[in-house]
Amino acid sequence: MMEYIEFIKTKRIFGKSYGVNIDRNDINDTLFDFQKDLVKWACRKGRCAIFADTGLGKTFMQIEWASLIGKNTLIIAPLSVARQTVREAKKIGIDVQYVRSQVEAKNKICITNYEMVSNFDFTKFSAVVLDESSILKSLDGKTRRLMTDLCQDVDYRLCCTATPAPNDISEIANHAEFLGVMTRADMLATYFIHDDDGYRLKGHAEYEFYKWLATWGMSVRRPSDLGYPDDGYILPALHIFPEYVNSDYSPEGKLFFTGLDGITGRATVRKSTIDDRCAHAAHIVNSTDEQFIVWCGLDDEQKMMEDLIPDCISVYGRHSPNEKAEMIEAFQDGKYRVLVTKPKIAGLGMNFQNAHRMVFVGLSDSFESYYQCIRRCYRFGQTKEVDVRIVLSTLEDGIYQNVLNKEREAAIMTNKLIENVQQFELAEIGGKNVESYEYRTDTVNGKTFTMMLGDSGERLLELEENSIGMSVYSPPFMSLYTYSPTERDLGNSKNESEFFGQFDYIIKGLLRVTKPGRLTCCHVAQVPAMNVRDGYIGLKDFRGKTIQAYIDAGWIFHGEVAIDKDPQAQAIRTKAKSLLFVQMRKDSSWSRPALADFILIFRKPGENAEAIHPDITNDLWIEWARPIWYGIKESETLQYRTAKEDKDERHICPLQLGTIERCIRLWSNKGDTVLSPFSGIGSEGYQAIKLGRKFIGIELKQSYFNSAVKNLRAAEDEINASTLFDMDNLG
Residue 417, domain member (yes or no):
no
> In sequence order, what are the beta bridge partners of 528?
539
pLDDT confidence band for 727 (50 / 70 / 90): very low
- Strands 338-341 vs 292-295: parallel, antiparallel or unpaired: parallel
Pair 155, 281 in one domain: no
Question: 602 vs 731, which has greater pLDDT?
Answer: 602
Residue 659, domain member (yes or no):
yes
64, pLDDT greater than 80: yes
CATH number at residue 561: 3.40.50.150
pLDDT confidence band for 282 (50 / 70 / 90): very high
The pLDDT assigned to 134 comes to 82
Measured CA to CA, the distance from residue 674 to residue 443 in angstroms comes to 17
Pair 402, 467 in one domain: no
CATH number at residue 284: 3.40.50.300
CB 410 within 8 A of CB 165: yes
The pLDDT assigned to 320 comes to 87
Mean pLDDT in residue range 441-446: 97
The pLDDT assigned to 114 comes to 87
Length of the chain: 731
Mean pLDDT in residue range 554-570: 89
Q: Hey, CA dihedral for 398, 404, 410, 412, is it positive or negative? A: negative
Q: What is the pTM of this model?
A: 0.73
Q: What is the mean pLDDT of the chain?
A: 88
pLDDT confidence band for 13 (50 / 70 / 90): confident
Angle between helices 397-429 and 367-374 (to 10 degrees): 70
The pLDDT assigned to 544 comes to 96
Q: Number of H helices and number of E strands within the chain? A: 26, 26
Among 230-234, 373-377, 575-579, 704-708, name the one with the lowest average pLDDT.
575-579
Residue 416, domain member (yes or no):
no
Q: What's the number of domains the chain is made of?
A: 3
Smallest CA-to-CA distance from 651 within 674, 676, 680 is with 680
Mean pLDDT in residue range 46-69: 93
Pair 585, 659 in one domain: yes
Domain ranges, residue 300: 238-410
Domain boundary at 161, 195, 226, which? 226
- Strands 109-113 vs 127-131: parallel, antiparallel or unpaired: unpaired
Residue 148, domain member (yes or no):
yes
From the CB of residue 416, how many other CB atoms can be counted at a distance below 10 Å?
14
CB 673 within 8 A of CB 693: yes
CA 411 to chain centre: 20
Residue 620, domain member (yes or no):
yes
Pair 279, 312 in one domain: yes
pLDDT digits (tens, 9 = 90+) for 524-559: 998 887 776 677 888 889 999 999 999 999 999 999
Residue 219, domain member (yes or no):
yes
pLDDT confidence band for 401 (50 / 70 / 90): very high
Highest mean pLDDT among 212-216, 228-232, 472-476, 588-592: 472-476
The pLDDT assigned to 730 comes to 44
Pair 16, 165 in one domain: yes
Mean pLDDT in residue range 699-728: 84
The pLDDT assigned to 255 comes to 44
Pair 243, 370 in one domain: yes
Amino acid (one-letter) located at 566 = D
476, pLDDT greater than 70: yes
Residue 428, domain member (yes or no):
no
Mean pLDDT in residue range 60-83: 92
Q: What share of the chain is helix, strand, coil (3-state, %, to 5)?
A: 45, 20, 40
What is the secondary structure of 327-390 as a DSSP string?
Answer: HHHHHHTTSSSEEEE-HHHHSSS---TT--EEEEES--S-HHHHHHHHTTTSSTT--S-EEEEE
Pair 218, 251 in one domain: no
Measured CA to CA, the distance from residue 190 to residue 205 in angstroms comes to 8
Cα–Cα separations (whole angstroms), residue 276 to 256, 279, 300: 19, 5, 13
Angle between helices 397-429 and 33-45 (to 10 degrees): 70
Q: What's phi and psi for 705, nearest 5 deg? A: -60, -45
Pair 466, 353 in one domain: no
Among 9-18, 54-63, 501-510, 547-556, name the one with the lowest average pLDDT.
9-18
The pLDDT assigned to 251 comes to 60
Pair 279, 398 in one domain: yes
Pair 707, 668 in one domain: yes
Domain boundary at 410, 432, 452, which? 410
Residue 1, domain member (yes or no):
no
pLDDT confidence band for 503 (50 / 70 / 90): very high
pLDDT digits (tens, 9 = 90+) for 680-690: 999 999 999 99
25-34 burial code (b ≥16 CB/10 A, e <16)? eebbeebbeb
Pair 341, 405 in one domain: yes
Domain boundary at 226, 249, 270, which? 226
319 phi-psi bin (left φ>0, alpha ψ -120 to 50, beta other): beta
CATH number at residue 61: 3.40.50.10810
The pLDDT assigned to 731 comes to 46
pLDDT digits (tens, 9 = 90+) for 293-330: 999 999 999 999 999 999 999 999 999 888 988 999 99
Mean pLDDT in residue range 649-673: 87
Pair 98, 146 in one domain: yes
The pLDDT assigned to 252 comes to 60
The pLDDT assigned to 147 comes to 85
